[in-house]
Structure 1
Amino acid sequence: MRMEQYKTVLEGGTGEIVEKKSRFIATVRPVKNEEEALAFLEEMRKKYWDARHNCYAYSIGKNREFTRCSDDGEPSGTAGRPMLDVILGEDIYNVAVVVTRYFGGVLLGTGGLVRAYSKAVQEGLAGSLVIEKKKGISLKVTTDYTGIGKIQYIAGERQIPILDSEYTDKVVLKLLVPDAETEAVQKAITEGTNGRAGMEKEKELYFAKVNGEVLTFED
């Protein structure tokens, strides 16, 4: 089951807050599986070996099959769960977050801890590149030179990126078509070229627009 679209992290980042002299450092990392999440957690524990706590939360899989969190010695329910709640609330998939706490000598109380860990994760996500992946296909279109202008016009009008083009005795274009528009695009190309263009669904993929550029993903 492939999701139509989902939010995830393209590039992880960090965020930091200070509450009553305690430092909370959030590190965010995209992860594909639980092994990557656990390796990331180990990496953070080594990096911040002298910290009082390294609390974590992660959610992996299209159905959030691997979703875990840990308070790492903080009072139960004051760190890991609030961190996870931020991830779930933002509806982000395949992400792991570690919040490192350097204790400042002042107790924050349970409410203060919940707020601090939640805020740290929000800062970490703000420092990361969060993208929305949408489901699409690579549509291979084969045409003669008389049909090329019409196909390029249809692609431009519908804002469909051309992933690749090949010019020999015929023209082969690979179009990135959102799932929901596949039938309409195929119909427009068939009508626009009087049925002369050959079309073949090459593969399913996900795509995202990042800073005006279209990126494709095989997941």
Structure 2
Amino acid sequence: MEKDTYKTIVKPSEETLFKDRNSKFFGYAFPVHSEEDIKRCLEELRKKHHTARHHCYAWQLGTESIRFRANDDGEPNNSAGQPIYGQIQAFDVTNVLIVSVRYFGGTKLGVGGLINAYRSSAQLALEASEIIEKTIDIHYKLKFGYDLMNKVQRVIKERNITIINQKLELDCEYIISVRKKDAESLFNTFESIYQLEISEI
């Protein structure tokens, strides 16, 4: 059975703090939908923590085709971004950016210490976030004449479908949203209605 839900966070987490030998790691989780969102969040944090030495982060976007990146921002290779990304995977969330801002406390932590600190910082940020489950939705465009309105409305009501947009001009055009697991049977239902056009968008 194909998965048609995913987990994400609702709003930015509260700032969290993890300390190790006087180094401070401030953790943040943000809901993001594009690389522009990610850039904006990172810029805001760089302004807020402009004296911090490292802004390490990881992000993941998408539900079916996944894109992700992990960035060590000057820390030793794979000691920061990867452990942060590991927590995104452990919590099984997507469309999320986790940033850990480090203020160096004068004592080197070593790679093992850094991995632990960044992992813990990311974990705290995610634990401070409200994680919700959402459905993966498919959007269809329906085009039909007014004579089919009742038929279409009946299917929409019976199947509990969300109309995102409607244009009623010479003929009718609906943009509808349907859960991925119901999409195929719904498509077939609409396709079988004579003189109705349906296409995925």
Calculate the TM-score normalised by the size of structure 1.
0.62
Cα shift at 1:161:
0.8
Question: 1:36 & 1:182 partners in 2: Cα distance?
Answer: 29
| Residue in 2 that maps onto 1:15 | 15
Does the 8 Å contact 1:13/1:129 carry over to 2? no
Distance 1:101 1:183, change over 3 A: closer
Distance 1:130 1:70, change over 3 A: farther
Cα shift at 1:198:
1.5
Gaps of 5+ in 2: none
Number of residues of Structure 1 aligned to a counterpart in Structure 2: 194
Distance 1:169 1:99, change over 3 A: closer
Question: 2:106 & 2:177 partners in 1: Cα distance?
Answer: 55
Distance 1:43 1:182, change over 3 A: closer
Cα shift at 1:25:
1.5
The one-letter code matched in structure 1 to 2:90 is: G
| Residue in 1 that maps onto 2:160 | 159
Gaps of 5+ in 1: 205-219
Any residues of structure 2 matched to 1:179-198 within 5 Å, and which? 179-189=180-190, 195-196=193-194, 198=196
C-alpha distance after superposition, 1:80-122 (max 9, x if no partner): 2211211233444454332112355677665554333223223
Question: 1:158 & 1:136 partners in 2: Cα distance?
Answer: 14
Cα shift at 1:8:
5.4
Q: 1:18 is paired with a residue of what secondary structure?
A: strand
Any residues of structure 2 matched to 1:39-188 within 5 Å, and which? 40-59=41-60, 62-64=65-67, 67-70=69-72, 72-73=74-75, 77-93=78-94, 95-103=96-104, 113-125=114-126, 126-127=128-129, 132=134, 134-144=136-146, 147-148=149-150, 150-166=151-167, 172-188=173-189
Calculate the TM-score normalised by the size of structure 2.
0.66
Question: 2:55 & 2:171 partners in 1: Cα distance?
Answer: 59
Question: 2:132 & 2:4 partners in 1: Cα distance?
Answer: 17
Does the 8 Å contact 1:57/1:81 carry over to 2? yes
Distance 1:190 1:127, change over 3 A: closer
Does the 8 Å contact 1:143/1:170 carry over to 2? yes
Question: 2:189 & 2:40 partners in 1: Cα distance?
Answer: 49
Distance 1:141 1:122, change over 3 A: farther
How many percent of aligned residue pairs carry the same amino acid?
28
Cα shift at 1:173:
3.8
